[in-house]
Amino acid sequence: MTITRPAFGTPGWDDALVLRRAVLRTPLGLDFTAADIAAEAGDTLFAAYRDARLIGVVMLRPEGVDSVKLRQMAVAEDMRGQRVGEHLLEAFEAHARALGVRHIGLAARRTAIGFYERQGYAVDSDEFIEVTIPHRHMSKTLR
Ligand SMILES: CC(C)(COP(=O)(O)OP(=O)(O)OC[C@H]1O[C@@H](n2cnc3c(N)ncnc32)[C@H](O)[C@@H]1OP(=O)(O)O)[C@@H](O)C(=O)NCCC(=O)NCCS
């Protein structure tokens, strides 16, 4: 598996948008808006490939001096359970550390909370609804 960081507006970014839509929006009957996509111009995209196929993505959004938001974590359905998500989080955290980030926050779907807990993230909010489904805020402090 290789992990790269395709720039906004490149073919790699567009491929990631197709995977994000298929995993995170279409099953909910939703789609990204033009405003959603425009707001991502300052995000960093991490894309995992196996044999030249894009199999997983996650995005980093700057939030403050030493804080970032982890968002859009998605692994292709037939590639789950093979540590793609774990490797993406490792690459994300290594990059965040290099930027001097101390605090990572995210909105976790109820069904993904166990995944993030295994990687050291802790729930720190009550449940709320986002994209029509239950989420909780989670966070991790980098050492
Ligand atoms: C959640 C998701 C990113 C996990 O990716 P993955 O590549 O399948 O996960 P990994 O293989 O790296 O799993 C690492 C560990 O987490 C566990 N795990 C994976 N998904 C889990 C889940 N949904 N709940 C609890 N534990 C989970 C694995 O069993 C493994 O545990 P182990 O270390 O004890 O063996 C993936 O299932 C996915 O894309 N789901 C749909 C989209 C989604 O919910 N995204 C998150 C939005 S907040």
Domains, the chain, in order of start with CATH, read 2-141 (3.40.630.30)
The whole-number mean pLDDT for each consecutive block of 10 residues of the chain, a chain of 143 residues, reads 97 97 98 97 98 97 96 98 98 98 98 98 98 98 94
Residues 111-129 have pLDDT tens digits of 999 999 999 999 999 999 9
Instruction: Report the residue among 23, 57, 115, 135 best suited for mutation to probe ligand 1: largest number of ligand atoms under 8 A from its CB.
Output: 115
Burial 66-83 (b: 16+ CB within 10 A, else e): eebbbbbbbbbeebeeee
Q: 101 C-alpha vs ligand 1 centroid, how far in Å?
A: 24
The CB-side HSE value for 54 (13 A sphere, CA atoms) comes to 21
Instruction: State the pLDDT at residue 143.
Output: 87
Residues 91-101 have pLDDT tens digits of 999 999 999 99
Radius of gyration of the chain from its Cα atoms, rounded to whole angstroms: 14
